[in-house]
Structure 1
Amino acid sequence: MNFAEISCAEFISRLGSKAPVPGGGGASALVGAVGTALGNMVGALTVGKKKYAEVEGDMIRLREAAEKLQGEFLTLVQRDAEVFEPLSRAYGLPKETEAQREEKDRVMEAALKEACSVPLEIMSKCGEAIRLHEEFAAKGSRLAVSDAGVGAAFCKAALLGASLNVYINTGAMKDRALAGEYNRKADALLAEYGPCSDRIFESVKNYLKKE
């Protein structure tokens, strides 16, 4: 099943069920896609307007980048499911004998590394999307600026959500050096793009409230 292609109703139904996928990582990727699309809408409502002729080129560039990111996020919805399923199976492997325990540890470690890679990529894409929202909010149509603020907030939510999927997997890894490396990457992405999203949101909020 391709989770990027099923209906919203089916995705939500499966997300709220006992099914192992989709989970928090896939949901974060989907939220990132939605947030990015909101910024893209600001661009669409700005392009072609005489009032914003000065930023027409910027909006076209931003929209192209947003379109690409939307597709990448949707791919990551499915990729997250694909990398989690082997991990889910690994948890159920027998561990009655020493050989079984060693095999389970080996399979688990490989699955955990793979399961960290996708949420880290989601976080990186969220950072790219938040940077786009900075420009959408600053240069886009004032009639749609609220959507840039909502988009930035959604991308931050996706960033935070994906980070927890990194940390839950690194917490179970035996290779603590590699776990630390993944954690530091996630920490750095949170530190850089969380405050950036907050600034965009506050700027939009203050503009709308005329403060």
Structure 2
Amino acid sequence: MMLIDKTVQGFITELASDSSAPGGGSVAALSASLGGALAIMVCRLTVNSEKHAAVHTEMAAVLNQAQAVTASLTRYIDEDTQAFNQVMAAYKLPKATDAEKQARSQKIQESTKQATILPLQVAEEALKVMELAAKTLEYGNPHAASDAAVAGLMAYAGLRGALYNVAINLPGIKDQAFADNVRAKAAAVRQQADKLNQQLESIGKEKLD
């Protein structure tokens, strides 16, 4: 069964087991997707209210974007676990001969690269959720301001978690150019996210305190 098809309790139970997957990567994607879902909710509570007709057009656009990015993040919940399993499968390949060792090493590198790219993509998508959450917090239905704030916080948590999964894989990659490129992209995402998180906290303080 796919993780996304499990009940909440079923997912938690599997996560708490002694299996190494699903793990932090899937949780990071889930966290960001929950943030996206909350942003969608706030958009709907705004566009369905005549009191907020002045921002209907803008919030409808945010709604469409949030739906797309949330759908993408939801797919990553299972894809992250699948990528991790591919790495584990590569390490279990035979290594009795030189040819087998070479094939195994190549497969390990390929699967580790994929397991590194995927959480970077999660982080990039989570950043989009943070941007959308900021708009819903600033312009959305004020009665759902706390939900918009949580949306941003969940996306930020998912982003940071995804970047941890990027970082843990980088030392195992022999392709230095690839590793340096991923490291630079991750740093850029982190910088943007930290700045946006401060903005979200500032807006949240204004709306909720």
What is the TM-score with the length of structure 2 in the denominator?
Answer: 0.93
Alignment map for 1:178-193 (pairs within 5 Å)? 178-193=178-193
Kindly state the Cα deviation for residue 107 of structure 1 after the two structures are TM-superposed. 1.3
| 2:134 is aligned with 1:167 | no
More deviation, 9-18/149-158: 9-18
Kindly state the Cα deviation for residue 17 of structure 1 after the two structures are TM-superposed. 1.3
Count of residue pairs brought into register by the alignment: 209
Report the equivalent of 1:197: 197
Ranges in structure 1 where 5+ consecutive residues have no aligned partner: none
| 2:104 is aligned with 1:74 | no
Superposed CA RMSD: 1.6
Amino acid at match of 2:188: A
Kindly state the Cα deviation for residue 94 of structure 1 after the two structures are TM-superposed. 4.7
Report the equivalent of 1:58: 58
Q: Answer yes or no: is the 8 Å Cα contact 1:170–1:179 preserved in 2.
A: yes
Kindly state the Cα deviation for residue 104 of structure 1 after the two structures are TM-superposed. 2.6
Deviations 1:141-183 (A, max 9, x none): 1111111111101100000000011111111111122111111
CA distance in 1, matches of 2:205, 2:96: 58
Ranges in structure 2 where 5+ consecutive residues have no aligned partner: none
CA distance in 1, matches of 2:187, 2:173: 17
Kindly state the Cα deviation for residue 39 of structure 1 after the two structures are TM-superposed. 1.4
SS at the partner of 1:167?
Answer: helix
What is the TM-score with the length of structure 1 in the denominator?
Answer: 0.92
Report the equivalent of 1:24: 24
SS at the partner of 1:171?
Answer: helix
Report the equivalent of 1:14: 14
CA distance in 1, matches of 2:99, 2:41: 56
CA distance in 1, matches of 2:79, 2:162: 13
The percentage of aligned residue pairs carrying the same residue is 29
Q: Answer yes or no: is the 8 Å Cα contact 1:20–1:85 preserved in 2.
A: no
